[in-house]
Structure 1
Amino acid sequence: MPTIGLIINPMAGRDIRRLVAAASLQSAPEKMLVVRRLFSGMSGIPDTEVMMIDDYEGFGRYALHELNDLLPVKLIAGEKEPSNGASTIDWAKRLEQAGARVIVSVGGDGTQRNIAQAQLRIPILPIAGGTNNVACWTGDQTAAGYACALYLARGDDPLDVGFQAKLIHVQLESGHEELALIDVALVRQAYTGALAVWHAEDVERLLLTVADPVRPGLSNVGGFLYPVFPGDDVALQVTLRGGPPGQATLAVMAPGLMTPFYVQQAEPLALGQTVTWSRKEGGSLALDGERSVVLKPGEPVMLRVIRDGPFVLDPTKILRKG
């Protein structure tokens, strides 16, 4: 039986950026409706099964008890604590080990980064459910669910109906490595705070795998300077000033939040090319929009973009194939 693993991030789309912008929160009931739409689409292909973690927030139990008329649901025992980035990575690995042949993940870029960190051998279908959704499918979820089940039923090659994502490899002085899917920002504050970055003047540099002018987030500023898309074998580095003088480039930091950025330089980088960042005063790195790594004064960090990320399915390509 073709099995789809489904992960819902209950905290996605509820960070501080939505409070300072003109955006509504992605509530639990709304996410449940997303799950129902996905199930409705998947049910269009007979014998499809969905596998979920019995999560603390109850999305798995909701699917088991409320949507079993659409599809059979298999629950895997989960944690008794609220979910977080580490649990998302663990869930993805456990679903793959339990027999899922594709992972559908509902969340924003931070959630999809966690899925990428799991280093799965099976493809993923990221569904928009966060504040910034550059890495995600933003079309109808019913169509996405149907496309995912159709992909499994036909046994398509994921590269025929999708692509392999680019990843930013971040090498710290200690030897520790971090990964980002869409953007890494060098931030002036040497603390993580509320994690999310929403003040343009806090950002000194950006490295982007995608710079799409119609997708909100830190990567949006690059979309107005040198657009870069998932299939392009190039990355973009942007150097910023803290403010005037100079003409500002407006960018959509979050839904309903237009922000001026003062760009000093924007340069394309070849895949595999290494760049080194540091700040004399120290700072932090925001990975896919969230401050995650604190840097000591003068501490160097090496970054490079490689196309070695997860295989990402494209519902449009699947459905166009017939």
Structure 2
Amino acid sequence: MGHVGIIANPASGKDIRRLVAYGTVVDNLEKVNIVRRVILSLAAAGVRKVTYMPEYYGIVAGALENICSRHRPDMEFVAADICVTGTQVDSFHAADAMASSGVNCIITLGGDGTNRLVAKGCRDVPILPISTGTNNVFPTLVEGTIAGLAAAVVARGLVATAPAINPSKKLVIYKNGQPLDSAIVDAVVLKDTFIGSRAVWDVAKIRRILVTRGEPHNIGISSIVGNFMPVTPGEARGVELAIGAGSLQIRAPIAPGLIECVPIQNGKYIKIGEVIEINEACVIALDGEREVEVRQDEKVQVQLTFDGPKVVDAAAALRAAVAQGYSCIKDN
């Protein structure tokens, strides 16, 4: 009854922003603890199969190892059939393999970067993102126990529509007319001409910001938008900002503990389907990490769509399931 995937990124929450800002390190032992609670909740709610991403730390194996015999789950655990590289691409391949194997819901542990890769591979499978990364705009702070219960009611088909499962937006990057990559939160045009350090933390290098969402309570580059022209995840629009000398400065938390004043030239809302031209040599960062190098002779476009992954709202999913009586245990 129900098949759930688990993608726990052992590298999330450990990038350079721990040095230049004041972010908390979510170590892999804590990820093991979270996954242990997820597994126990999945088992209690009737899920009988889990497919997980194999990785160098062994997060799922560690979670299972220390569950006492009284609580040992009666579940099948299968490693996703991927070639482990120890890089971020493993998250994409794991999501793709899970979608092919019939997983009904994927739980992720990571930040915006992890979920960007999962979103590229999960197809129509809903994802439930647990925040354990640096930039955590897309994933939410949800306790592992609750995340497991919510994923279970989705995987068992007890809930299947909004507000329990919601569509999301994304920014599709085209180079010379061909789709190249995508972002689920922000695409940031930088003055750099080569990728270098992947993480983005220096506001002085930013030229333009395009977002699917940005609210005042966010942390990261999207918080700049959130403190100037807020846009929520559910709105059928995004925002583009031009950064540089202008008449206005915005104070925003661009990294944990790092509040910067950012000069704004102008900004505008962009419609679903609208295409933004990038006609300059630059590097484009996607969801907080430098990914795309653009030469002067290359034509690059960014399009806002509502074709991002389906996302589980844990609280709404459990409310809907309870309304159907899923938590009631009847005597025989």
Name the TM-score, length of structure 2 as normaliser: 0.90
Distance 1:236 1:57, change over 3 A: same
Residue 211 of structure 1 is matched in structure 2 by 214
Using the TM superposition, name which of 203-212 and 36-45 deviates more: 36-45
Which residues of structure 2 form unaligned runs of 5+? 323-332
Deviation at 1:2, TM superposition (A): 1.0
Alignment check: 8 A CA contact 1:50 1:71 kept:
no
Distance 1:207 1:77, change over 3 A: closer
Residue 273 of structure 1 is matched in structure 2 by 274
Aligned length: 318
Map 1:285-300 to 2 at 5 A: 285-297=284-296, 299-300=298-299
Alignment check: 8 A CA contact 2:52 2:77 kept:
yes
What secondary structure, in the 3-state scheme, does the structure 2 residue paired with 1:248 have?
strand
Counterpart of 1:93 (choices 96, 102, 105) is 96
Alignment check: 8 A CA contact 1:56 1:80 kept:
no
Distance (whole Å) between structure 1 residues aligned to residue 2 and residue 150 of structure 2 = 13
Deviation at 1:18, TM superposition (A): 1.9
Using the TM superposition, name which of 308-317 and 62-71 deviates more: 62-71
Distance (whole Å) between structure 2 residues aligned to residue 49 and residue 63 of structure 1 = 15
Using the TM superposition, name which of 4-13 and 131-140 deviates more: 131-140
**Which amino acid in the other structure matches residue 267 of structure 2?**
A
Alignment check: 8 A CA contact 2:82 2:93 kept:
no
What's the RMSD between the two structures over aligned residues?
A: 1.9
Residue 57 of structure 1 is matched in structure 2 by 57
Residue 314 of structure 2 is matched in structure 1 by 315
Deviation at 1:252, TM superposition (A): 1.0
What secondary structure, in the 3-state scheme, does the structure 2 residue paired with 1:92 have?
helix
What secondary structure, in the 3-state scheme, does the structure 1 residue paired with 2:189 have?
strand
Distance (whole Å) between structure 1 residues aligned to residue 52 and residue 201 of structure 2 = 33
Distance (whole Å) between structure 1 residues aligned to residue 46 and residue 122 of structure 2 = 29
Distance (whole Å) between structure 2 residues aligned to residue 208 and residue 53 of structure 1 = 29
Distance 1:151 1:114, change over 3 A: same
Alignment check: 8 A CA contact 2:126 2:165 kept:
no
Distance (whole Å) between structure 2 residues aligned to residue 99 and residue 147 of structure 1 = 18
Alignment check: 8 A CA contact 2:277 2:300 kept:
yes
What secondary structure, in the 3-state scheme, does the structure 2 residue paired with 1:237 have?
strand
Distance 1:310 1:71, change over 3 A: farther
- % identical equivalent positions: 28
Name the TM-score, length of structure 1 as normaliser: 0.92
| 2:207 is the alignment partner of 1:237 | no
What secondary structure, in the 3-state scheme, does the structure 1 residue paired with 2:35 have?
helix
Deviation at 1:120, TM superposition (A): 1.6
Residue 25 of structure 1 is matched in structure 2 by 25
Residue 37 of structure 1 is matched in structure 2 by 37
Residue 10 of structure 1 is matched in structure 2 by 10
Alignment check: 8 A CA contact 2:185 2:212 kept:
yes
Residue 172 of structure 2 is matched in structure 1 by 169
Distance (whole Å) between structure 2 residues aligned to residue 86 and residue 168 of structure 1 = 19
Deviation at 1:87, TM superposition (A): 1.3
Alignment check: 8 A CA contact 1:103 1:123 kept:
yes
**Which amino acid in the other structure matches residue 34 of structure 2?**
V
| 2:253 is the alignment partner of 1:252 | yes
Using the TM superposition, name which of 77-86 and 114-123 deviates more: 77-86
Alignment check: 8 A CA contact 2:48 2:76 kept:
no
Alignment check: 8 A CA contact 2:82 2:94 kept:
no
Using the TM superposition, name which of 46-55 and 219-228 deviates more: 46-55
Distance 1:166 1:176, change over 3 A: closer
Using the TM superposition, name which of 45-54 and 192-201 deviates more: 45-54
Alignment check: 8 A CA contact 2:53 2:91 kept:
no
Distance (whole Å) between structure 1 residues aligned to residue 122 and residue 175 of structure 2 = 20
Deviation at 1:90, TM superposition (A): 0.7
